[in-house]
Amino acid sequence: TWGKARDELRQTVGKNNFVTWIEPLKLSSLANGVARFEVPTTFFGDWVSRNYSDHIRHQLANHGSPVDRLEFAVTRNAATRPNGTSLEPAETRPAAPARAASNNDDLPGAPLDARFTFDSFVVGKPNELAHAAARRVAEGGPVTFNPLFLYGGVGLGKTHLMHAIAHELQARRPELRVLYLSAEQFMYRFVQALRDRQIMDFKGLFRSVDVLMVDDVQFIAGKDSTQDEFFHTFNALVDQNKQIVISADRAPGEIKDLEERIKSRLQCGLVVDLHPTDYELRLGILQQKAEFYRQQYRDLKLADGVLEFLAHRITTNVRVLEGALTRLFAFASLVGREITLELTQDCLADILRASDRKVTVEEIQRKVAEHYNVRLSDLIGPKRLRSIARPRQIAMYLAKQLTPRSLPEIGRRFGGRDHTTIMHGVRKIEELMATDSQLADDLQMLKRLLQG
């Protein structure tokens, strides 16, 4: 029953919530109207109980096991796995709780994934700065920049780096109180404290840590009292010279509905971004994972060119890349065949299709700006200089060609330009292309770059 109910929950709670909160649940018993689950931490059980009880009971009932009550028990030795040893697809692996240090036991932190260490983090051009900054913080020396603000798109390694910092600090400086949690959990804790009239405890607890790491801080934007509390916590810690590490999906200045004073506070430290992966980094990550699988499945052969093919074709994010490789090895071992390009294409048809030609206008703008060495803000902005206007028209042309966006939609993404302006830009490039072979070549190359 639980298996089926769980599958259903994937749909009803959303994939991210599912992976974080439902997937790690282990049903230990189901009898007398009580469903008992094993969870990695008390906090985890609390959270699931508060947020997903109704969903879970509903689905259990739907699948023939109505229950009155859910219970959550903490498993002391919930599976921690060494780096990357899981065979399940990357998206469905439970985060393994790895807190060993005793100085942190009272902290309401999120479980750390044991696989997210510096050792398992592959460094390349797109993430070298972020990695270096994270390393510095992880040394636990005197605070040199505060906060460290890491930002970047989904699946580029922000959470991985933060967990790596926590692991490293725990190993080097076990006496430090390190608290890692998501902004969502911060809010949850705060709201709970308000409700239970324990706000002083809450404040005390958060102000007692040596290192505070808050993941996905964009989440609290627009949530006024939580923002406020965050701001005070933040200031109190900075005043005490305690290290803070923050992540978000975009730069501080670009987070909508985040108070100005918080933005400027966040910008005071070191702001580094994780750039989208490039081919080399993707290949490096694949090689690392493949090496691991090769040891697992010693008799499995991996044909030349498969990893290169994947690095080339799956450009969306590292999570998808990992999931693809995991599935590939699991499948090949199941059918007992060599991993050839053909097998890869069969086995991963859906993933490959999904990552085909998913170019966005923003990506086009970024690539074009980079290629012509103009600023992104200029490309989108009002300047009429020819050196900017031409790349802008090229970006408009590519947006029209490579994305399903309409002219007005494209116009909106070019600083609110009218659709006729876009039309004009597109025509201009079409015209020029006929005679300017340099331009035609450029466009070819840009297209290839964008489509991967």
Distance CA 101, CA 99 (A): 6
Q: Which does 90 bind (CB under 5 to 8 A by kind): Mg ion, ligand ADP, none?
A: ligand ADP
Q: Which does 319 bind (CB under 5 to 8 A by kind): ligand ADP, Mg ion, none?
A: ligand ADP
Give min distance, CB of 81 to ligand ADP, in A: 12
- In the chain, the amino acid numbered 436 is D
Give min distance, CB of 215 to Mg ion, in A: 6
Q: Which does 154 bind (CB under 5 to 8 A by kind): ligand ADP, Mg ion, none?
A: ligand ADP
Contacts of 39 (CB under 8 A, 6+ apart): 24, 25, 26, 45, 48, 72, 73, 74, 75, 78
Q: Nearest CA to 47 among 172, 181, 178, 213? A: 181
Residue 317 contacts residue 126 (beta carbons within 8 Å) = no
**Nearer CB in complex with Mg ion: 126/391:** 126
**Residue 215, helix vs strand vs coil:** strand
Of positions 17, 104, 120, 159, contacts Mg ion by CB under 5 A: 159
Q: Which does 252 bind (CB under 5 to 8 A by kind): ligand ADP, Mg ion, none?
A: none
Residue 159 among known ligand-binding residues = yes
Distance CA 271, CA 137 (A): 13
**Helices within 83-223 (DSSP H only):** 128-138, 158-172, 183-195, 199-207
Residue 340 among known ligand-binding residues = no
**Nearer CB in complex with ligand ADP: 87/440:** 87
Q: Which does 315 bind (CB under 5 to 8 A by kind): Mg ion, ligand ADP, none?
A: none
Distance CA 365, CA 240 (A): 42
Q: For residues 270, 222, 248 and 231, what is the CA-based torsion angle, rounded to 10 degrees?
A: 40
Q: For residues 126, 132, 133 and 138, what is the CA-based torsion angle, rounded to 10 degrees?
A: 130
Distance CA 224, CA 71 (A): 33
Q: Which stretch binds Mg ion (CB under 5 A): 154-162, 169-177, 275-283, 324-332?
A: 154-162
**Nearer CB in complex with ligand ADP: 23/229:** 23
Q: Which does 155 bind (CB under 5 to 8 A by kind): ligand ADP, Mg ion, none?
A: ligand ADP
Residue 110 contacts residue 76 (beta carbons within 8 Å) = no
Residue 323 among known ligand-binding residues = no
- Beta bridge pairs of residue 245: 148, 213
**Nearer CB in complex with Mg ion: 20/59:** 20
List residues binding ligand ADP (CB under 6 A): 90, 116, 120-122, 127, 152, 154-160, 285, 318-319, 322
Give min distance, CB of 157 to Mg ion, in A: 8
Q: For residues 219, 221, 226 and 231, what is the CA-based torsion angle, rounded to 10 degrees?
A: 110
Give min distance, CB of 114 to ligand ADP, in A: 11
Q: Which stretch binds Mg ion (CB under 5 A): 155-163, 166-174, 187-195, 287-295?
A: 155-163
**Nearer CB in complex with ligand ADP: 94/391:** 94
Give min distance, CB of 43 to ligand ADP, in A: 19
Phi, psi of 24 (to 5 degrees): -70, -10
Q: Which does 164 bind (CB under 5 to 8 A by kind): ligand ADP, Mg ion, none?
A: none
Residue 284 among known ligand-binding residues = no
Phi, psi of 301 (to 5 degrees): -100, 140
Alpha carbon of residue 70 to chain centroid: 30
Which parts of 47-76 interact with Mg ion (CB under 5 A)?
A: none
**Nearer CB in complex with ligand ADP: 216/229:** 216
**Nearer CB in complex with ligand ADP: 207/319:** 319
Q: Which does 109 bind (CB under 5 to 8 A by kind): Mg ion, ligand ADP, none?
A: none
Q: Is 127 in the site for Mg ion (CB under 5 A)?
A: no
Q: Which residue ranges make up the annotated binding site?
A: 155, 157-159
Q: Which residues bind Mg ion (CB under 5 A)?
A: 158-159
